[in-house]
Amino acid sequence: MPRLSVNLNKVALIRNSRGANFPDLIKVARDCERYGAQGITIHPRPDQRHARYDDVAALKEVVTTELNIEGYPTEKFLDVVLTTRPDQVTLVPDEPGQLTSDHGWDTMKRADELRPIIGRLRNAGIRTSIFVDPDPKMLDGALAIGTDRIEFYTGPYAHAYDTDRDGAVAPFASASAHAAALGLGINAGHDLNLDNLAYFVSKLPDLQEVSIGHALVVDALYFGLENTIQLYLNRLEN
């Protein structure tokens, strides 16, 4: 069963909108774990419009499952994660000012840039994952630069799921088998939800972790946070 890591960026966005510590991100993280979440994720961006850099250290103090920090590897970002040492760092090719993640790394063209960054993280004892599209060449490149895991950007799967779920999942299933053969760990995230998650998981038997935030927080408006986490865990198990 893949692990469920709850991305709390949208909770942080609500907190920031009123200029006070409400909702309390740290309490929400603790509650998510209490309700069954197997990891906590945040993605602090340079403008800190939702998760902030100081949230990383605060979460490190309380998270008892796994703490995953996503982000573009600016020197500021690297300084924060190398100081805090979360369980996992997921490198995402979001340029400053980008609204949300919408593609994976080109691990071939940017190999010389990524290889020393991954080396620094691994030397600090941090498991490293990089955002990729389901392209075998990008997976070969990921192996060559030394990452421990890859995280599939699943936006294209989610967008095509309602019209052609078999066609939508096929490249991810094939790429997952290729990644497993290479010895890479496999994560996935972006636009996965209660409707499309179970089918995706059923086709990727080597999947180790999913990171879900936006859809989970939206569902929690209707079902409540505890209920929603249980619903997602049920999709992962079945």
Active site residue 43: yes
Per the residue annotation, which of 50, 151, 190, 209 is the catalytic one? 190
107: Cβ contacts below 8 Å, ≥ 6 apart: 114, 130, 132, 138, 139, 140, 141, 142, 144, 145
Active site residue 50: no
Per the residue annotation, which of 43, 50, 66, 209 is the catalytic one? 43
Residue 28 phi/psi, 5° resolution?
-60, -40
Triad 26, 44, 40: Cα angle to 5°:
45
Active site residue 190: yes
Per the residue annotation, which of 33, 66, 70, 151 is the catalytic one? 70
Residue 104 phi/psi, 5° resolution?
-95, 175
Q: Active-site positions?
A: 43, 70, 190
